[in-house]
Structure 1
């Protein structure tokens, strides 16, 4: 096991230091769904005529400011890789099963698609970020967990919105989930434009249901309230969220769309493309997802 850990460490350093045709800037692109769902792209550039010349931006598709890859994230990924070596990766469920307080959250990992899982947990994390911000009395461990959870949550939300080919679901399914979430959020939040208004609306949502049934936004609100209300200790909340997002990033990384990752690598790559290269060479795979029978799985039929 010691030799295996040394090999993993060498591989991680190699991937982090590699120089490609366009050097990776070591940045995590970010997307905050609750801050972007009202975004409407300019119709001067986004129309049928301009679609021939430039990629079209969809409603709600707005990037937040990228951040430098935090050292805390690299350390968390390294430790997770060591502990997961030789096992099948899961979509956050393994980390939740480690704690009695977090096992009640497993329902949010067993949705129809992995894209829905990401969006629901992203909305819940955003809820906790507002409700449980960092304070002066918070320990260094809590600060590390907060940074890891929030930065990876917004990074995976960015992949949903801008790079769905790098996700486990069929890209059309991922785009559909995102577009539907935007429509649902606009209906759910109505005219809310500030975080305090969103949180108040989420707190008012008692049943978790809309007129058309439970949506990504409803589930995200329910999960966020469940985390904040049922888990009493702030440090435990952020540890659970950090461990979930680290596991989810690793789960997403071994995509079966090698061409999409190769295209990103020639341009410098995404953080997840470097993890993909590492996990592929290490032979680390993800476990078959636990999902309902009628899931929108990656297939050529979509």
Structure 2
């Protein structure tokens, strides 16, 4: 037996040795072909998939995009290093011709330059890498392509294309750096002031009428400077460098008069433009040199194809190298041609034509005769076939997290197999929210936008009445810094419920979420058909804000209270475990709690009943804790301070409903809308920019609405009001 075993091990060992030798020989003979194929495949995958990030790609697809984004640079750099060291000669001189293509691949597709916002901040490092890699490619072409004038010419033509595309990516990264954007905005403002003082030529007045997608996307382009300036915390003047003050006022008036679906559409289009600017080559594509590069790239590639064939008339190159080079040139020609067509048919180009062309024959042929529009529609039709033309459409998804459903196992959070250890609340919340992500219901959009718009209209009315007596900035701050106080004040409930809003937004979210869950489960009024729509909206907004608190805390202003959320979940788990199953007395830790959930009944009909049961348990524990100085409730589970406050608020809301003091459903709805608006406006601009790479959030859309409509209000009378206030303060000081 021992001899037989030794014989088997010898076979395995020799097989491994032979396999290793075979792999080594394969790599030695075909290493450049393998690297070239992998590099080109990475470009193709990124070209097709990168745009899905804006449309909220799944976690698996994002990982694929990240893998190819990082791997593409590694493969191309490795190939250039291999070529510079090994060199090529004789029949393999054509391999050196591949070096410019690796530079072209390092430039990447137009659809992605940065995977995360932080990639733009490394642009200085990318400049150094550009210089070193270009120097390596030039060295390879110079040393290895001698002997054939046709091959030399083709190599230098493709080297020009590769260097141009690689430099373009580096320039796009640099321009998308938020610090560079801020500097650019300041330079544009100074130039605009100088042009205005010097009486320079005024730009063509822009007016985009209609509410179809074509007109709305032009409105988005016309107002994009507001989004860009706001993203870097730079003030926006009434007259932009892109068009004159009269055109700006017309566009803002039109925007303010749009119904909420069209307004929402314009905002999501602007965010898609911001995504293009930060994460793709849009910052450099739609310039004269960007168009020039795309115009010459297909031409140079086609000429290089002819020159390569001429260099092989006498059969100087290896046949396999010739076949691979032909395929590479044809594929590159097709990709470069597609890049040119996408650039020309883009809405960016359409807006540049509207803005930059004077009235004349060219403008008439391009715009009045609708030639560009027909071409744009043709490109859009091709894009729809390839499922790539939805780029201007936001995914419109929002995460959801209900703590009571999370604890009782509702919402699909406990359907999959779970490990018995190493389970944490953040992983559980991420799984729950990913499974319960939903498309924002139209009624939620409508309610939120109508209330925000009404608040801004009220502010505008106050400005018209009181501009002479009030500081404009204080009036705007009064709207932007309230996270529910205005809703309670409007119902004369601020004195009774101010405590529930907490010192930080996160604390208010936690308190109101628990209270909302209990109220909606136990209130008799929420079952009425008349308020069903409002109840769905309340639940959606409440779960969305809880999702931001648990999964996206960087999208909320103020202190991050992660530990408080985990303690609250621990308390809820203990309450549910203690009363739900007698055999689960040891389920105080999350690890044991999740094991209990695996054996709990998964009957969907019981979920609502289970949540209601947990709500009643919480009320019972709260009453025991209130009546017992020790807080233990006679052997019950002690509730932490903020969970207890949530239950207390729920009881207060139920009492107010019974007393008939106010329409509590409407009060709760308005509080949540105010909290969403507060979170959107007080969130850091960098967090909004980062989240665009993962599809964006509803709060980002609302923030953009506030920036636009707020600027419209301020822009109409703001400068005059501020000057009058400044003069009055100055005169008052002199009078003293």
What TM-score, normalized to structure 1? Answer: 0.75
Q: Does 178-187 or 33-42 show the bigger shift?
A: 33-42
Cα distance in 2, alignment partners of residues 101 and 112 from structure 1: 18
What do the CA deviations read for 1:230-274 (whole angstroms, capped 9, x no partner)? 222599121111111111100100134222211211332111122
Residue number in structure 2 paired with 1:253:
680
Cα distance in 1, alignment partners of residues 612 and 453 from structure 2: 40
Q: Does 210-219 or 265-274 show the bigger shift?
A: 210-219
Residue number in structure 1 paired with 2:154:
none
Residue number in structure 2 paired with 1:176:
563
| Equivalent position to 1:112, from 503, 521, 527 | 503
SS at match of 1:253: helix
| Equivalent position to 1:231, from 650, 654, 657 | 657
Q: Tell whether 2:535 aligns with 1:164.
A: no
Q: What is the number of equivalent residue pairs in this alignment?
A: 270
CA shift for structure 1 position 43: 5.2
What do the CA deviations read for 1:130-176 (whole angstroms, capped 9, x no partner)? 113643x532xx22321221110000000011000000123xx2322
Q: Does 116-125 or 181-190 show the bigger shift?
A: 181-190
Residue number in structure 1 paired with 2:78:
none
Residue number in structure 2 paired with 1:6:
257
- Alpha carbons of 1:196 and 1:256: their partners in 2 closer, same or farther (altered >3 Å)? closer
Does the CA-based 8 Å contact 2:557-2:683 persist in structure 1?
A: yes
Matches within 5 A, 1:67-86: 67-85=438-456, 86=459
SS at match of 2:398: strand
- Alpha carbons of 1:75 and 1:11: their partners in 2 closer, same or farther (altered >3 Å)? closer
Matches within 5 A, 1:1-302: 3=253, 5-6=256-257, 11-17=263-269, 20=272, 23-37=393-407, 42=418, 57-58=426-427, 62-63=432-433, 65-85=436-456, 86=459, 87=476, 88-89=479-480, 90-100=482-492, 103-109=495-501, 111-132=502-523, 134-135=526-527, 137-139=528-530, 142-170=531-559, 173-192=560-579, 194-204=610-620, 205-206=622-623, 207-208=625-626, 210=631, 215-232=641-658, 236-283=663-710
What do the CA deviations read for 1:184-211 (whole angstroms, capped 9, x no partner)? 3234544355223312212212245846
SS at match of 1:25: coil
Does the CA-based 8 Å contact 1:28-1:66 persist in structure 2?
A: yes
CA shift for structure 1 position 179: 1.6
Cα distance in 2, alignment partners of residues 7 and 24 from structure 1: 18
CA shift for structure 1 position 84: 2.3
CA RMSD after TM alignment? 3.4
Cα distance in 2, alignment partners of residues 46 and 280 from structure 1: 44
Cα distance in 2, alignment partners of residues 256 and 25 from structure 1: 21
Does the CA-based 8 Å contact 2:269-2:394 persist in structure 1?
A: no
Does the CA-based 8 Å contact 1:38-1:59 persist in structure 2?
A: no
Cα distance in 1, alignment partners of residues 534 and 662 from structure 2: 8
- Alpha carbons of 1:102 and 1:238: their partners in 2 closer, same or farther (altered >3 Å)? farther
- Alpha carbons of 1:265 and 1:105: their partners in 2 closer, same or farther (altered >3 Å)? same
The gaps in structure 2 that reach 5 residues or longer are: 1-251, 276-390, 460-475, 581-609, 633-637, 712-736
Cα distance in 2, alignment partners of residues 239 and 72 from structure 1: 14
- Alpha carbons of 1:17 and 1:143: their partners in 2 closer, same or farther (altered >3 Å)? farther
Does the CA-based 8 Å contact 1:145-1:241 persist in structure 2?
A: no
What do the CA deviations read for 1:117-140 (whole angstroms, capped 9, x no partner)? 1011001111012113643x532x
- Alpha carbons of 1:15 and 1:225: their partners in 2 closer, same or farther (altered >3 Å)? same
CA shift for structure 1 position 82: 1.9
The gaps in structure 1 that reach 5 residues or longer are: 48-54, 285-302
Cα distance in 1, alignment partners of residues 537 and 495 from structure 2: 21
Does the CA-based 8 Å contact 2:426-2:550 persist in structure 1?
A: no
SS at match of 1:216: helix
Q: Does 95-104 or 147-156 show the bigger shift?
A: 95-104
- Alpha carbons of 1:235 and 1:261: their partners in 2 closer, same or farther (altered >3 Å)? same
SS at match of 1:196: helix
- Which structure has more relative contact order (CA 8 Å, sep 6+)? It is 1
Does the CA-based 8 Å contact 2:567-2:640 persist in structure 1?
A: no
- Alpha carbons of 1:112 and 1:184: their partners in 2 closer, same or farther (altered >3 Å)? farther
